[in-house]
Homo-oligomer: A and B are copies of this chain.
Amino acid sequence: MADPIRELSDLLARLPGVGRRTALRLAFHLLGAPEEYARELGQAIARIRDRVRPCSVCRNLTEQDPCAVCGNPRRDRSIICVVAGVPDLWAIEETGSYRGLYHVLHGLLAPLDGVGPEDLHLDALRARVQADGTAEVIVATRPSVEGEATAFVVRDILKDLPVRVSRIASGVPHGGELEYADRVTLGFALDGRRNMP
């Protein structure tokens, strides 16, 4: 057996969603792929941790500090959207409908896993809101026990500041079937109903 192939496939099998067979298939694919591609991918993986760091303003992961969002003079600096992680920030950016700033928590409140409010950089958020006179903080954590708990903690830490704290809407997703929506989602959809124009 060729050990380097086995070695590579064992490392690949530690990726989420990559089983033993898939890892082997990927290893052989990389063996047959253009040498330049394998080298580029390998270097991108090996260096990713060194190349990005948290933005000193919003903790978005970035190569330059401040990040592209915080450094963009055309963003609306009166609104901060609080997200659990960078993938959520990217998802919101992709909607193209948000022009404000962000604050990345890099986690959600999870007391059982030892993640308390002090781990979520909430002091930094409070300091930003205070210093910039932010008008609105939108809490865009996901609608789950942890996401809701985090939203309440964010609201509490900003309670005495003159800032509107809002929460993204939760309900039946676009294109979703009512009959397949779970009860909690349907409950959120009913609670969050709005008058029709």
Binding site for B on A (CB under 8 A): 1-5, 7-8, 11-12, 14-17, 22, 24-31, 35, 37-49, 51-52, 60-63, 67-68, 85-87, 90, 93
How far apart are the CA atoms of A30 and B44 in the complex, in Å? 10
Residues of B contacting A47 with CB < 8 Å? Answer: 4, 42
Give the number of copies in the complex: 2
Q: Are A48 and B68 in contact (CB under 8 A)?
A: no
The one of B8, B16, B17, B61 that contacts A44, using a Cβ cutoff of 8 Å? B8
Closest 9 A-B residue pairs measured CB to CB?
Answer: A42-B46, A42-B45, A4-B51, A8-B44, A11-B41, A42-B42, A2-B62, A39-B46, A35-B49
Q: How many whole Å from A93's CB to the nearest CB in chain B? A: 7
CB nearest to A16 among chain B residues: B29
Residues of B contacting A28 with CB < 8 Å? Answer: 85-87
